[in-house]
Amino acid sequence: MTAQLTGDTVTLTGRSLRHILRSPDTIITTAVMPIAFMLLFVYVFGGAIETGIATGTDAATGPYVNYLLPGILLITIASGVAYTSYRLFMDMQGGIFERFQSMPIARSSVLWGHVLTSVIANLISLVIVVAVPLIMGFRSGAGLLAWLAVAGILILFTLALTWIAVIAGLSAKTVDGAFAYPLIFLPLISSAFVPTETMPGPVRAFAEHQPVTPIVNTIRDLLAQQPVGSEIWIALAWCTGLLIAAYLLAQLSYRRRVSQPSPRRRRRLSCPP
Amino acid sequence: MSIETASTPTIRVQGLEKSFKDLHVLRGVDFEVTRGSIFAMLGSNGAGKTTVIKALSTLLAPDAGTATVNGFDTATQSAQVRESISLTGQFAAVDEVLTGRENLVLVAKLRHLKHPKAIADELLERFDLTEAGGRRVATYSGGMRRRLDIAMSLIGDPPVIFLDEPTTGLDPEARLEVWQTVRTLAAAGTTVLLTTQQLEEAEQLADRIAILHGGRILVEGTLAELKRLLPPTEVQYVEKQPALEDVFLALVGKNGDPTIDGADAEGAHPDGTHPKDLP
């Protein structure tokens, strides 16, 4: 059974990777938005923000782009996973999803194929996004181990967000509903762009107690060769917690989905509130 | 029911019920399909044909009743049922981004067959898609898509094939092609359960026909048996005119035999597919 799951997952991952190869714009679009954000923040707001950070924190005060990069990476992932919802939703709209379900395959391989594809696609986008700040003057003396730790955290975060996107894709009624938009706002209200100390009370409370802030801080410290402290554990706890919760919820909605008629039919037969 | 069935039926449905919220789509459906035969389920839109197909292909669980396919219970032996069947749904289940060949290879791999490429090439050849095999399915016509769809369903030679409205939306030529494929399948021993809302399709293809209405099978039998349900033939003299389909196929068709006169004295009704023709 496990061997079958692996085999089928590899086959289905190959299929959706082909989708990406044939429309590479999905990877480019994923990378362009965060890069635009980065340019905007570094070259437009950057001057004003930089002075604020220099006085407000004791963090290593390299160029602002150093401060910004971790948040930009998370935004890349948060927008990139939307394509997973989209591809999953489109599969269910066409008949291919039902064909897979009626075949003698490991049923969860249909989801795993999309999830692995998401991880690979997001990694490619991340590489593109990291290349740009290198041109813009970002430098890190971080060693291989620190970069591997960063990659590990990013993959964990991608997996967690992808499973959330799977839930969105499975439960969506329309294409627009398939996109897990709110995810993109998490990095905005965090320490990704400015230190949380500068925010008013309730906003600061939210920013400091949501997953993105500890993840951003950890990656920032790793790249700046600072001691990461206990925040890395909070970051990892958020990632694994989200991952487990999202995975279980996705399995639940998948099971509900595959034992029920397609949305097209359901909508015609009855009017949900 | 009428003729003695020597072997056990390949498909046996008993008391199948299914509701969606307050809507009772199936209210106790019973029927049997003999091995190697073509069974047509006839019904108007919303009669529950697709629901029956989905229950049989383990895509949804019925509220009550049992169904066995190829000797396996759909509820308790769903994995074995999925080994035995292929589903060609109402909407062509093909991947538009992939090429025709890649679609076939994908299904062959998912069925864990050896030499998926050889299987794909053989099916492309058989369904007259060799030239189009390297093109993305998005560029295919409706008929080509349907052919590819059916070709994908044949991979692994499943003993039972479900075809849910296989010719809806096809032009007459493509429809004849699909019919020919279905006949070939049944002749080779595959059991075919197809749903349709076109009466002519059922007449042309099916060994037995069931009419699904109001969540139940109203009648079930061979075409001749169903015809006997009505008062005996009344002889009328009707001016014989070629049906538009005959004209169309004679002018355009390469597949339909272009016999405008003769040959269809019995089967042709002027407007082919109107439900009111057959009460």
Residues whose CB falls within 8 Å of the CB of residue A12, separated by 6 or more in sequence, listed in order: A100, A109, A110, A112, A113, A114, B110
> Is a pLDDT exceeding 70 seen at residue A97?
yes
Judged by CB atoms closer than 8 Å, whether chains meet at A94 and B94 is answered as yes
pLDDT at B233: 67
Which of B74, B75, B34 is CA-nearest to residue B207? Answer: B34
- Domain assignment present for A273: no
A62-71, B15-24, B80-89: range with lowest mean pLDDT: A62-71
Q: How far apart are CA A247 and CA A251, in angstroms?
A: 6
Query: Residue ranges of the domains in chain B?
Result: 11-229, 234-279
The better pLDDT of the pair B22, B81 is held by B81
Residue-wise pLDDT tens digits, B147-192: 899 899 999 889 999 998 888 878 888 888 888 889 988 998 999 9
Q: Give A224-250 pLDDT, tens digit per residue.
A: 878 877 888 888 999 999 999 999 999
Q: Do A102 and B58 count as a contact with CB atoms less than 8 A apart? A: yes
Q: What is the mean pLDDT of residues B13-38?
A: 88
Does residue A224 lie in a domain region? yes
Q: Which residues of B touch A101 (CB under 8 A)?
A: 58-59
Q: How far is B257 from chain A (nearest CA, A)?
A: 33
Which residue of A7, A95, A268 is in closest CB contact with B89?
A95
Are the Cβ atoms of B107 and A23 closer than 8 angstroms? no
- Contact yes or no for A95 and B51 at CB 8 A: no
**Residue among A220, A213, A201, A204 at smallest CA distance from A237:** A213
- The size of chain A, in residues, is 273
pLDDT score recorded for residue A109: 92
Q: Is the dihedral of CA B260, B261, B266, B268 positive or negative?
A: positive
> Between chain A and chain B, how many beta carbons pairs sit less than 8 Å apart?
86
Nearest to B23 among A98, A101, A269 (CB): A269
Q: Which residue of B has its CA nearest to A267?
A: B20
Given pLDDT bands bounded at 50, 70 and 90, which one contains residue A52? low
| Residue of A101, A103, A254, A255 best to disrupt the B interface, most CBs of B under 10 A | A103
Torsions phi, psi for B36 (to 5 deg) = 75, 10
- Per residue in A157-190, pLDDT (tens digit) is 999 999 999 998 888 877 776 665 677 778 888 8
Q: Give residue A166's pLDDT.
A: 92
Q: Is the dihedral of CA B239, B243, B249, B252 positive or negative?
A: positive
pLDDT tens, residue by residue, A132-162 = 888 877 777 778 888 899 999 999 999 999 9
Whole-angstrom distance, CA of residue B207 vs CA of residue B36: 10
Contact: B22, A103; criterion CB under 8 Å? no
Q: Do B87 and A268 touch (CB under 8 A)?
A: no
The whole-number average pLDDT for the span A88-104 is 88
pLDDT of residue B4: 42
Residue A91 lies in a domain: yes
To the nearest whole Å, the CA of A242 is away from the closest chain B CA by 30
- Report yes or no on A215 lying in a domain: yes
A22–B136 C-beta distance less than 8 A: yes
Collapsed DSSP state (helix, strand, coil) of residue A195: coil
Query: Hey, which of A101-105, A154-158, B45-49, B90-94 has the most confident mean pLDDT?
Result: A154-158
**A124/A30 Cα distance (integer angstroms):** 10
pTM, to two decimals = 0.80
Q: Cβ A18–B102 below 8 Å, yes or no?
A: yes
Domain B11-229 has CATH 3.40.50.300: yes
Cβ atoms A192, A217 nearer than 8 A: no
Q: Does A4 touch chain B (CB under 8 A)?
A: yes
CA atoms within 13 A on the CB side of A192: 24
A95 and B93: CB-CB below 8 Å? yes
For residue B89, list chain A residues with Cβ-Cβ distance below 8 A. 95, 98-99
At A84, give phi and psi (nearest 5°): -65, -45
Q: Using CA atoms, how far apart are residues B122 and B118, in angstroms rounded to an integer?
A: 6
CB–CB contact B51 A103 (8 Å):
no
Max Cα distance, chain A (Å): 62
The reply to whether A129 falls in a domain is: yes
Name the residue range of residue A78's domain.
Answer: 2-53+60-261
When divided into structural domains, chain A yields a total of 1
Find the mean pLDDT for residues B67-92: 88
CA nearest to B146 within chain A: A95
The CA–CA distances, whole Å, from B198 to A154, A253, B42, B202, B209 equal 55, 36, 8, 7, 12
Q: Which residues of A touch B92 (CB under 8 A)?
A: 94-95
CB contact under 8 Å between A12 and B110, yes or no, is yes
How far, rounded to the nearest angstrom, does the alpha carbon of residue B54 sit from its chain's CA centroid? 14
Whole-number percent of chain B with pLDDT over 90: 30
pLDDT of residue A246: 92
- Residue A260's pLDDT is 46
Answer whether A268 touches B (CB < 8 Å): yes
pLDDT digits (tens, 9 = 90+) for A58-88: 444 567 778 888 888 998 898 888 889 988 9
Q: Any residues with CB less than 8 A from the CB of B1 and at least 6 apart, and which?
A: B32, B220, B221
Find the farthest-apart pair of alpha carbons in chain B and give their distance in angstroms, rounded: 60
- Rounded to the nearest angstrom, the minimum Cα separation between A181 and chain B is 25
- CB contacts, 8 Å: B83 with chain A: 104
